[in-house]
Amino acid sequence: MKPHMLVLVLCVACSALSSPAVAKVHAEKTAAPDKAYLQKIWDGWATLDPANVAQFYASGPHTFFDIAPLKYSSWDEYQIGVRQVVADFKSAKFTVNDDADLHPAGKYVWGTATVKEEMTHKNDKVDTGNFRWTVVFEQQGGKWLIVHEHVSAPLQ
């Protein structure tokens, strides 16, 4: 191949790789979770249907601590168990408070936040308060998935 053709081929290749579409795909794969992403997760939980948050959780053997009962060893176990916990409620609203803090650590991001909750039981009793949330995300397949979570409430 003649030198000027080689330069032309390299220029075209570099141009294609630096196009906005390619840059956008790369940015979407690596953009770390932010407060809006955290809120999106809790908006899913507010539907009281674990199927609406399954997309945020990694499958396989991972530990998730929740307010009740205590511990789940996988997402499959978590979504089955939490259905029983939320069965007594007819609505919920969760707001990630301004203290949300995220820490990138390679292919992981760990975060902490307090979350304001308002949950209405089927008998119309309303529970309100704040709970603590610690979460660990791992980048898998271009998505940030929860591989560990700890939700707890302060002693009353």
Give the pLDDT confidence score for residue 16 in this predicted structure: 44
The DSSP annotation for 40-100 comes to HHHHHHTTT-GGGTGGGB--SEEEEE-SSSSEEEEHHHHHHHHHHHHTTEEEEEEEE-TT-
Residue 127 has pLDDT above 50, yes or no: yes
Architecture of domain 32-152: Roll (3.10)
For the chain, the domains span: 1-30, 32-152
Do 116 and 95 contact (CB within 8 A), yes or no? yes
Q: Residue 94: which of 15, 139, 24, 38 has the closest Cα?
A: 38
Give the pLDDT confidence score for residue 17 in this predicted structure: 43
β pairing state of 61-65 and 71-74: antiparallel
Residue 131 banded pLDDT, cuts 50, 70, 90:
very high
Give the pLDDT confidence score for residue 68 in this predicted structure: 78
Q: What is the DSSP letter of 19?
A: S
Q: What is the average pLDDT across 127-142?
A: 96
**How far apart, in whole angstroms, are the C-alpha atoms of residue 3 and residue 123?**
79
Most distant CA pair in the chain: distance in Å? Answer: 81
32-88: per-residue pLDDT in tens?
Answer: 999 999 999 999 999 999 999 999 999 999 999 988 778 999 999 999 999 988 999
Q: What percent of the chain has pLDDT over 70?
A: 81
Chain-centre distance for alpha carbon 2:
52
